[in-house]
Amino acid sequence: MTSRRAPMVAMGSGQRGPIGKMRNPVMTIVLSMLCFVYAIIQVWGMLSELKAFRGKDDLNPILFFVPIVGYFELWKLNEKVLDAKRMAGVPNAQVASPVLYLFFAIFFLPTDLNEVWQAASGGQLPPA
């Protein structure tokens, strides 16, 4: 059994972590509406991939599922995604406002992370 590891990509001043999984944002929303457990698994996975890519310890996926604290974490999430986009070298990096992330993170997070993974891999990732 072989293990597939995501490639480590070097950055100008330091290292960034492994490139995450490409996700279809529309299918993520549809399947999340059908199965809440799927939504939890996807959000947990995306947050873990973002944390690993950024290489910073300021993102804890469990906090997103704690009442009230989760709203504060969602409010700050767009800045962390913007940081990842800058690390990946996305030209003219922009993210949605914190209000949109607060209500529609299940759509904006996979959309923005797909852009990060695409830029970080040099455009070589196939859509998943």
* Model pLDDT for residues 73-98, shown as the tens digit of each residue: 999 999 999 999 999 988 888 998 99
Please give the model's pTM, rounded to 2 decimal places.
0.80
Of 87, 81, 123, nearest to 100 (Cα)? 81
Helix, strand, coil percentages, rounded to 5, for the chain: 60, 5, 35
Of 89, 78, 87, nearest to 112 (Cα)? 78
Q: How many residues belong to the chain?
A: 128
Q: What are phi and psi of 49, to 5 degrees?
A: -65, -40
Q: Is the dihedral of CA 15, 62, 86, 110 positive or negative?
A: positive
DSSP state, residue 121: T
| Residue 121 confidence (pLDDT) | 84
